[in-house]
Amino acid sequence: MDAFEKLVSQARIETAGCGAPDPGGKAVIYRMRRAQRAFDNPALEAAIEAANLLEKPVVVFFGLLARHPHASLRTYRFMLEGLCDTAERLSRRRIGFVMRICAGASSGREFARFCAELRPALIVEDENPMRRGKRPRPNGPAVAPWSVDADVIVPSALLGKEHYAARTIRPRIREKLAEFLKPVGNRHLRVPFSEPRGLEKTVPEISLLETLALDRSVAPAPDFRGGTSEGLRALRSFVRERLGAYDRARNHPETDGTSRLSPYLHFGHLGPHTIALAVRDADASLSSRNAFLEQLIVRRELAVNFVRFNPRYRSLDCAEPWAKRTLAEHARDPRKYRYTERRLEQAETHDELWNAAQSQMVESGWMHNYVRMYWAKKILEWTASAREAFDVAVRLNDRYELDGRDPNGYAGIAWAICGKHDRAWGPERPVFGKIRYMSHGSTRRKFDSRSYIERWSR
């Protein structure tokens, strides 16, 4: 087996069957999309390893969309802060970075133009489980795109199909952890990138926010700053100050014993290997470390598995047959309260806890996972149908959450509204049927909801 065959045989790399690398190409191009980091990035490391075999430099391409349905001041500021950090880190590794502003809702045309200008020896892409089958291919028979799964510990392709609960995916993941839960490695690039004269690019800087078509009503998140450096700082703080009590405190929104790392994972400013290894090797109780790794690896990768293998992940159509039946049986149940999407968005309900959760999301860009479950279930209870509830929850989550538009968010909404990754519960209840129910009263037995309400009430 030659060096390239050995590299491709790694389970994390999927080739698109477009031929061998082009030895006459000028560089290996890494099309960065989801994994927006220059550190512990399996896609970037695959590009570097291939480039070293070819004796070529590496250049990273990032297409910044000028218009996007979820382009807000909140998400784009966080993303640009991260890209500024990434560009600097790539420069220190002697890797090129070309960012271009893309006029439409896709970067495909601009990326193809860039490839025509530079003539790639190889193209590497980081896998996006929510965009499978949508990767545009640059022209040229010599181009051989690789897709590298940089978003999980155990490559999603190895799981082969959609799993229906944590109990089914957990043993499959655990049997492969010894192989994949290890340092990614940050290789030395043998041939530095030398930028051709006149190469068109845009330098990532915060001032670009003034030129883009953004939803400016969604303000930047006050407690989060984007970038790998900020993500590493947040990780160190969590390991030092809160990991030790994670097994006891993670479901207490009023004290917030969670890591708050989900925005950094969503934008790829931190990779799961970095976080998992820091927690695994931390000086904290085994029960807390195991509880966190269960969430980071098993539960998060169950969500990635869901969106990769179920194309209906953004709608009620993703539900299992038992859930569809029970929701249909209770579709005509009367609702004691009925709210429009506008009133929900404005946190104008009778429920103080729900209003506080919605306010936390709108104001901070983040919502504690325990109240997020309650938040979604009440939308089911207060809207005209389960389908409408699912759609409203997705729109609100994707607009305001820094970690919105993410497998975890879609899986969480599906769990809350149509029992995804759950089971049928009894006795049946109005509206919910056999879908698991949560009440305001039950939350008071779990945490100090009054303190949470007082903190986040408008």
User: pLDDT band at 67, cuts 50/70/90?
Assistant: confident
pLDDT of residue 132 exceeding 70, the answer is no
Q: Could you tell me whether strands 120-126 and 27-31 are parallel, antiparallel, or unpaired per DSSP bridges?
A: parallel
CA 227, 232, 238, 243: dihedral to nearest 10 degrees? Answer: 130
Q: Is the peptide bond before 136 cis (omega within 30 degrees of 0)?
A: no
pLDDT for residue 284 is more than 90:
yes
| H or E element at residue 15 | strand 13-15
* Eight-state DSSP code of residue 428: -
The domain spans of the chain are 3-150, 151-184+227-309, 316-456
Residue type, 236: R
Distance CA 326, CA 313 (A): 19
Alpha carbon distance 175, 164 (integer Å): 18
Residue 141: per-residue pLDDT = 38
pLDDT in tens, 188-218: 999 999 999 889 999 999 999 999 989 999 9
DSSP state string for 209-276: GGTS--BTTSPPPTT---SHHHHHHHHHHHHHHTGGGHHHHTT-TTT--S---HHHHHTTSS-HHHHH
Instruction: Note the pLDDT of residue 363.
Output: 96
The arithmetic mean of pLDDT across residues 332-340, rounded, is 96
- Arithmetic mean of pLDDT, 94-100: 97
- Can 3-150 and 316-456 be said to share one CATH topology? no
Is 111 a residue whose pLDDT tops 60? Answer: yes
Measuring CA to CA, which residue among 433, 185, 449 is closest to residue 328? 433
Fold observed for domain 151-184+227-309: 1.25.40
Tell me what pLDDT residue 17 has: 53
- Is residue 131 within 8 A of residue 108, CB to CB? The reply is no
Tens of pLDDT, residue by residue over 393-416, are: 999 999 999 999 999 999 999 999
**Predicted confidence (pLDDT) at residue 352 exceeds the cutoff of 50:** yes
User: What was the pLDDT predicted at 25?
Assistant: 92
> Rounded to an integer, what distance in angstroms lies between the CA atom of residue 415 and that of residue 373?
8
Of 434, 438, 437, 436, nearest to 326 by C-alpha is 434
Alpha-helix residue ranges (DSSP H) falling in 125-199: 166-174, 177-180
Are 81 and 219 within 8 A, CB to CB? no
- The predicted structure's pLDDT at residue 133: 53
Q: What are phi and psi of 31, to 5 degrees?
A: -85, 100
Distance, CA of 432 to CA of 419 (rounded, Å): 10
Instruction: Round the average pLDDT of the chain to a whole number and report it.
Output: 92
Tell whether the model's pLDDT for residue 134 goes beyond 70: no
Quote the CATH superfamily of domain 3-150: HUPs (3.40.50.620)
User: DSSP secondary-structure letter at 208?
Assistant: G
- CB hemisphere CA count around 178 (13 angstroms): 2
Token pair recorded at residue 1: 């087996």
In the numeric block, which tokens belong to residue 122? 């190889």
User: Which residues are bridge partners to 59 per DSSP?
Assistant: 29, 96
DSSP-based three-state secondary structure for 22: coil
- pLDDT for res 16: 57
Percent of the chain with pLDDT over 70: 95
Question: Tokens in use for 80?
Answer: 């640009």
Which amino acid is residue 143, in one-letter code?
V
pLDDT score, position 255 = 85
Q: Give the homologous superfamily in CATH for domain 316-456.
A: DNA Cyclobutane Dipyrimidine Photolyase, subunit A, domain 3 (1.10.579.10)
The C-alpha torsion from 29 through 33 and 37 to 43, rounded to 10°, is -50
What is the pLDDT, as a whole number, of residue 144?
61
- Which helix (H) or strand (E) segment is 362 a member of? helix 352-364
CA distance 102 to 62: 10
**Cα torsion for 27, 32, 38, 40, to the nearest 10°?**
-110
Is 28 in contact with 61 (CB distance < 8 Å)? no
